[in-house]
Amino acid sequence: MLHRHRPAAHAVAHEVFAVAAAEGVTLEPFDAFEPSAYADGADPGKSASATDRLVAWLRTQTKTRSGIWRDIAVRRRPTEVPTQYGPVVAAAERHGVDVPVLRLLLGQLAEVQADASSMSESRIDLLDAAAAKGTVR
């Protein structure tokens, strides 16, 4: 879905990276992921190219059916995302960094975990719309 929902993906990356910068954390590339392409002030063309490379790399992976939505819909288990991103939200609050798309993402996940039948790609469309309202790529 990354290739179809770039605004949301870029917005979440931008927000998380802003928190990392406020915390003094230096992000490092791994596999096909280039954090500098999503950092504050990164050229939108660089972000788009980096996402193209990441999507192409992901298509080469043998594990094609995974992720948080699969955990909820197929395995009927909660995802670890709130546990992983809770500290990011707490750090954002400490540093006064606004993370509206990340908060919306966590809210959407909580709703879907409470009722898996409410899972729909339209939820990610909402994230894209929220990202478009901001200044992120």
Q: Where are the domains of the chain?
A: 6-133
| Assigned fold of 6-133 | N-(1-d-carboxylethyl)-l-norvaline Dehydrogenase; domain 2 (1.10.1040)
- Both tokens assigned to 65: 């059916």
Say what the pLDDT of residue 3 is.
67
According to the model, what pLDDT value does residue 137 have?
41
What gap in Å lies between CA 109 and CA 45, rounded to an integer? 30
Give the global pTM.
0.82
In the three-class reduction of DSSP (H, G, I as helix; E, B as strand; rest coil), residue 30 is classed as strand
Closest C-alpha among 113, 114, 115, 87 to residue 102: 87
User: How far is 11 from 126, CA to CA, in rounded Å?
Assistant: 12
- Tens digits of residue pLDDT in 59-79: 888 876 667 777 777 777 888
**Residues in the chain with pLDDT < 50?**
135-137
Are 38 and 14 spatial neighbours (Cβ–Cβ below 8 Å)? yes
pLDDT averaged over the chain?
86
Cα distances from 9 to residues 76, 77, 84, 117, in angstroms, run: 24, 23, 16, 23
What pLDDT is recorded for position 1?
A: 61
- Beta-bridge mates of residue 30: 33
